[in-house]
Amino acid sequence: METFVMATHNAHKIAELSRILEPMGIHVVAAEVPDVEETGTTFEENARLKAVSACQATGLPSVADDSGIEVDALNGAPGIYSARYAGENATDADRNKKLLEELKDVPMEKRTARFVSAISCVFPQGEEICVTGICEGKVAFQPKGQDGFGYDPIFLVGEKTYAELSPQEKDAVSHRGKALRMLQQELKKRRENQDADE
């Protein structure tokens, strides 16, 4: 079993990563690494900053995700500022409330949005993998569902919000599920190349 460190304090993200990588023989652990200032201008840049920092701090292969929601009616906001959208110590409910208030007069057909997840994987020898998954949807008029976290209760994929889906249903369609499956493919390729070199 290979150990990968995930640079996050978010237990939900670790659970999602584990569900997809454990079958490949990769054990995911959370790392207590210094908080990184997310100075990147894209999800990809911020994910890489976090993964590089965790790899340097632990000496282990490190995975970091930077994700958020882009709303077309708000010119792509909150985007990379999704986690800080309603202020530093805001809760998920605060962020959802702020977003719904900003969209209160926007009709359903104009509430298009997407969730983006960039995942960076950095290895101690200097190799890097970066993948990005996207899920298109719409912003609901009110929160629905008990599962999920973040903006899940107000993000509609078809008739249901992310928070109304089971973990397996969410993994099948979500931005992070797509990105993790791409990461899985890249890690498989990397393993095959290593085996060929030996």
Active site residues: 66
- Give per-residue burial for 77-111: e unless 16+ CB within 10 Å, then b: bbbbebbebbeeeeebeebbeebbebbeebeeeeb
Compute the CA torsion angle 51, 68, 86, 164 (nearest 10 deg): -120
Quick: pLDDT tens for 120-153: 999 999 999 999 999 999 999 999 998 878 999 9
What are the domain boundaries of the chain?
2-197
155: Cβ contacts below 8 Å, ≥ 6 apart = 69, 113, 115, 137, 138, 139, 140, 161, 162
Q: What is the pTM of this model?
A: 0.89
Neighbour count for residue 134 (Cβ, 10 Å): 14
What tokens were used for 67?
């994700």
- The class of domain 2-197 in CATH terms is alpha beta
Tens digit of pLDDT at every position of the chain (198 positions): 789 998 887 787 888 788 878 888 889 888 777 778 888 999 999 999 999 999 999 999 999 999 999 999 999 999 999 999 999 889 999 999 999 999 999 999 999 999 999 999 999 999 999 999 999 999 999 999 988 789 999 999 999 999 999 988 998 999 988 998 899 899 989 888 888 876
